[in-house]
């Protein structure tokens, strides 16, 4: 084989091989990105299309009676927590589900009654496990859990705890409903405080559900089109390669 033949073969074959590998690598990368993008679209679209989510339940704090200077109580709209801030001269005691002392909030910090069943029931949004030594009637055993005058905690009284929908929602899920009025009792010394609010059902917007389906279809269609286009390009390159080979005699 002469020098020209060796150079031609050495430069043409690796080039074609690299071309095939680069196209195939590009195809694999684009398909991977397309699948990832489609998965993300589906993840975003499913909550938007779901008819019954936590966002359908709206918690609203309506009153703190009587008003106490330095005491501020708020509740998250989704019912996931209550926040109590107390900068007054007297500690505020939050009652548990059996009217036992549960939390003590003062300007010096926050204490938790380790014997209150609410201490363990409120560890999760569902129902926490209560140890055998918890006793709502026992003398409180206080444990300091924060040096700040703010306590934020889950409270099952302010959100929906049922396994399914409320009966009124089952009958007419497309309409808003008042599910219940709730109260979280507290006290300052001998003064009883009622933190009151409402839990309502707010139906989802059907437009968001249809938009979610639309995003899924667009994402799927885009991934398919990109895959088909790259597959056709690979096929064309594969058919052209043999004709591009230049026959060079190995001997002059």
**Quick one: which of 79, 61, 52 has its CA closest to 161?**
79
pLDDT of amino acid 240: 59
Residues in contact with 205: Cβ distance below 8 Å, sequence separation at least 6, in sequence order: none
pLDDT of amino acid 62: 98
pLDDT of amino acid 215: 53
Residues in contact with 242: Cβ distance below 8 Å, sequence separation at least 6, in sequence order: none
Length of the chain: 252
- Residue 21 confidence (pLDDT) above 60: no
Copy the structure tokens of residue 152: 């934020």
Query: Which segment of 7-11, 67-71, 75-79, 143-147 scores lowest on mean pLDDT?
Result: 7-11
Copy the structure tokens of residue 26: 């590009």
Given pLDDT bands bounded at 50, 70 and 90, which one contains residue 11? very low
pLDDT of amino acid 55: 79
Mapped onto helix, strand or coil, the DSSP state of residue 102 is: strand
What percent of the chain stands above pLDDT 70? Answer: 63
Burial of 182 (0-12, 13-18, 19+ CB in 10 A): buried
Given pLDDT bands bounded at 50, 70 and 90, which one contains residue 204? confident
Copy the structure tokens of residue 92: 């505020």
| Mean pLDDT rounded to a whole number for the chain | 79
- Highest average pLDDT, of 4-18, 140-154, 195-209, comes from 140-154
pLDDT tens digits, one per residue of 80-105: 999 999 999 999 999 999 999 999 99
pLDDT of amino acid 49: 35
Q: Are the C-beta atoms of 164 and 156 separated by less than 8 Å?
A: no
pLDDT of amino acid 4: 39
| Mean pLDDT calculated for residue range 109-124 | 96
Quote the CA–CA distance of 165 and 175 in Å, as a whole number: 13
| Mean pLDDT calculated for residue range 4-26 | 48
Residues in contact with 143: Cβ distance below 8 Å, sequence separation at least 6, in sequence order: 111, 112, 113, 114
**Quick one: which of 11, 57, 36, 63 has its CA closest to 184?**
63
Sign of CA dihedral 122, 162, 60, 52: positive
Residues in contact with 146: Cβ distance below 8 Å, sequence separation at least 6, in sequence order: 109, 110
| Backbone dihedral angles phi then psi of residue 13, each to the nearest 5 degrees | -70, -45
pLDDT of amino acid 250: 53
Quote the CA–CA distance of 207 and 53 in Å, as a whole number: 16
Quote the CA–CA distance of 32 and 223 in Å, as a whole number: 9
| Mean pLDDT calculated for residue range 245-252 | 52
Copy the structure tokens of residue 160: 């929906």
Quote the CA–CA distance of 82 and 72 in Å, as a whole number: 11
């Amino acid at each position: 084989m002469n020098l020209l033949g060796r150079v031609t073969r050495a430069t043409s074959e690796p080039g074609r091989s690299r071309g095939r590998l680069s196209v195939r690598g590009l195809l694999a990368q684009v398909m991977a990105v397309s699948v990832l993008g489609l998965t993300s679209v589906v993840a975003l679209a499913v909550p938007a299309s779901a008819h019954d989510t936590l966002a359908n339940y709206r918690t609203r704090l309506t009153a703190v009676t009587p008003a106490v200077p330095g005491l501020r109580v708020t509740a998250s709209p989704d019912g996931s927590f209550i926040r109590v801030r107390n900068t007054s001269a007297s500690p505020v005691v939050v009652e548990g589900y059996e009217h036992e002392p549960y939390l003590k909030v003062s300007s010096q910090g926050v204490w938790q009654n380790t014997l209150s069943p609410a201490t363990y029931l409120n560890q999760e949004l569902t129902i926490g496990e209560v140890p055998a030594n918890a006793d709502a009637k026992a003398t409180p055993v206080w444990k300091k859990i924060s040096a700040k005058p703010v306590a934020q905690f889950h409270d099952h009284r302010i959100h929906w705890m049922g396994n399914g929908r409320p009966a009124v929602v089952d009958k007419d899920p497309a309409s808003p409903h008042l599910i219940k009025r709730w109260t979280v009792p507290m006290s300052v010394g001998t003064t009883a405080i009622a933190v009151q609010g409402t839990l309502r059902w707010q139906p989802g917007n059907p437009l968001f559900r249809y938009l979610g389906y639309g995003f899924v279809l667009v994402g799927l269609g885009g991934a398919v089109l990109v895959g088909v286009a790259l597959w056709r390009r690979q096929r064309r390159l594969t058919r052209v390669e043999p004709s591009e080979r230049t026959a060079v005699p190995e001997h002059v």
